[in-house]
A and B are shown apart, each in its own frame.
Chain A
Amino acid sequence: MDFLNDIPWLLILSSVAKTLFLIFLVVLPLVSYTVYAERRVSALIQDRLGPNRTGFPTSLLGFKTDLQLYLGGLGQPVADAVKFLLKEEFTPGHVNKVYFWMAPVLAMVPALSTLAVLPFGNYMFGQKMVVADVNVGILYVFAIASVGVYGIVLAGWSSNSKYPFLGGIRSTSQMISYELSLGLSAVPVLMIIGDLNLSEAIRYQVENGWLLLPFTDGKLTLREILLWFPVFISFVVFTISMFAETNRLPFDLPESETELVAGYHTEYSSMKFALFFLGEYAAMIAGSSLIVVLFLGGWHLPFLPINTSETSLTLAGSLLGLIHITVFFAKVVVLLLCFIWVRWTLPRFRFDQLMKLGWLYLFEIALVNIFITAAVIAFVK
């Protein structure tokens, strides 16, 4: 039984604990409340009220009246979840069953898997707050995020009907076009940081100021000012590509409601449809987290002391670790609200405009940006 001693139990247990915390306590609730925020913010932008009165229907449980408790509609995600679970699970007869069932899973799983390498906090209980602190961090994110396309493509193809098929085709071409500029716009950042590990990216930003706001470390050098321009360009390109990667408006051609009914998930119902929905929002959260890690300093907040592996075991240290996690997700939430804000502002692109923007502008800008960054790094010390 010697091999039992060789298994790194602490590593396995802490990873499982971190995964459970991240997925079930943070991301999934965040996903459902992003859906709620989407509905509320869109309503407010359009001078409506949105879902503002969902309460507890205790009369369903045999009580005389419903519980009168004003929550401002915060019960809506619960009601939605119950609705999705109770709806009829309908599989049309003409679909390719295997891929039809596989597609929603493939849409959801990659979005959640990308979260594994994202450092969402500094230290808690002596543990680094990242599920997998791997040194290929960002490459892993790009690799897994591309797998997410398969969910949409398989859904479109296996549905065996024209609108989902068109949605699937659009998704493929769109993802391929924007993956390029996404990857290329991240290169300048990686050149500046000099490491693919996302924890290292944050450590660099803690020491030298956030990439997008280089003054957060209290000083501003000529090199930082010069580097700010390519970083800003790369931030804009990266964000636009991230919108396209997550199928958000103005790039939601795969599911454009006005032309394709609902695009790739037209034939889906009940929880299978909900999985696409959750996958889209989980991808949004993963994308926003990546932007936060690469450009906005991750969990770091200036003037806030940073705990280490040792101090995080004390009460003050663990409190600090909790604040770091909160700061990280606060930044993510702000970005998510921006995603929603943009969605309810811009109309959808025409498909040729989308392709033109991706291939003729963003790709070139990202490519040239790499050389600008290289020149600054090489000539300005």
Chain B
Amino acid sequence: MAYTVRRPNLTFWEKLYLPNIVAGLAITFKHLRKMLAGETKIVMQYPEEKWDAHLPEYYRGAPTLVMDEHGREKCVSCQLCEFICPPRAIRITPGSVPNDSQFAKAEKAPEAFDIDMARCIYCGLCEEVCPEQAIFLRKDYAVTGESRADMVHHKTKLYELGGTMPDLVHKWNPEK
């Protein structure tokens, strides 16, 4: 059913528009003045100021590979992360650890470990699935490159970003 929308009864000054226009101008001028005086809080100016110091512990940045305190690659190339990776960003070529190596007990280590950062969705499933605690999402978030090839993190780059992380379980400790 149609009904009539009641129009508000405007006073003379409201009908004249001009006082309200002046009031509006006063509001915008107040904002302009506060902004010029630096009283308004503005957002962080990104390249100059960064929030790196305030990143929370659980922040999920670029996935990286880590070594243990003896300098051993923790990854044993079981390829679980490769299989679980939803966007299939990880590609591992398994390789073996030579018998005369200090770390021969682990038997296997990745020959190549590529993470395509153009595909990675930072979900953290690789970190979650890793039985060796070898892959971790660190706090690097500004991953850039000039080509698709640039966006692929190879093994050296991944270890460089990851660094060392002491083991919680010492099952692969070198033979005493």
Contact = CB atoms under 8 A, between A and B. Distances in A.
A48 B32 CA distance: 10
Contacts, number: 30
B28 A341 contact: yes
Interface stretch (A39-47, A101-109, A258-266): A39-47
B31 interface: yes
A344 interface: yes
A44 B31 contact: yes
Contact of A346 (B21, B29, B32, B36): B21
Interface string A301-338: 00000000000000000000000000000000000000
B31 A47 contact: yes
A47 B24 CA distance: 16
Nearest to A52: B45
A359 to B, nearest CB: 16
B112 interface: no
Contacts of A346: 21, 24
Most chain B CB neighbours (cut-off 10 Å) among A44, A49, A341: A44
A344 B35 CA distance: 15
A237 to B, nearest CB: 12
A46 B29 CA distance: 10
B28 A45 contact: yes
Contacts of B80: none
A44 B27 contact: no
B25 A341 contact: yes
A172 interface: no
Nearest to A337: B32
Contact of A342 (B25, B32, B45): B25
What range describes how many residues of B lie at the interface? 10 to 19
Contacts of A345: 21, 24-25, 27-28
Contact of B31 (A45, A49, A342): A45
A44 B36 contact: yes
Contacts of B29: 341
Contacts of B32: 41, 44-45, 341
B42 interface: yes
Nearest to A236: B18
Interface in A75-120: none
A49 B42 contact: yes
Contacts of A46: 31
Interface in B10-39: 21, 24-25, 27-29, 31-32, 35-36
Contacts of A48: 42
Nearest to B42: A49
Contacts of B96: none
Contacts of B24: 345-346
Most chain A CB neighbours (cut-off 10 Å) among B21, B32, B36: B32
A344 B28 contact: yes
B93 interface: no
B32 to A, nearest CB: 5
Most chain A CB neighbours (cut-off 10 Å) among B28, B29, B42: B28
B156 interface: no
A344 B31 CA distance: 11
B102 interface: no
Contacts of A344: 28
Nearest to B27: A345
B144 to A, nearest CB: 16
Nearest to B22: A345
Contacts of B31: 44-47
A346 B25 CA distance: 8
Interface in B29-80: 29, 31-32, 35-36, 40, 42, 45
A215 to B, nearest CB: 23
A183 to B, nearest CB: 22
A337 B31 CA distance: 15
Nearest to A49: B42
A179 B28 CA distance: 29
A196 B29 CA distance: 37
A234 to B, nearest CB: 15
Contacts of B40: 47
A50 B31 CA distance: 14
A41 to B, nearest CB: 7
Interface in B81-110: none
Contacts of B27: 345
A344 B36 CA distance: 16
24 contacts: A41-B32, A44-B31, A44-B32, A44-B35, A44-B36, A45-B31, A45-B32, A45-B35, A46-B31, A47-B31, A47-B35, A47-B40, A47-B42, A49-B42, A49-B45, A341-B28, A341-B29, A342-B25, A344-B28, A345-B21, A345-B24, A345-B27, A345-B28, A346-B24
Q: Which 5 A-B pairs have the closest CB atoms?
A: A44-B35, A345-B28, A345-B24, A45-B28, A47-B40
Given A45-B32, A47-B31, 17 more contacts: A41-B32, A44-B31, A44-B36, A45-B28, A45-B31, A45-B35, A47-B35, A47-B40, A47-B42, A48-B42, A49-B45, A341-B25, A341-B32, A342-B25, A345-B21, A345-B25, A345-B27
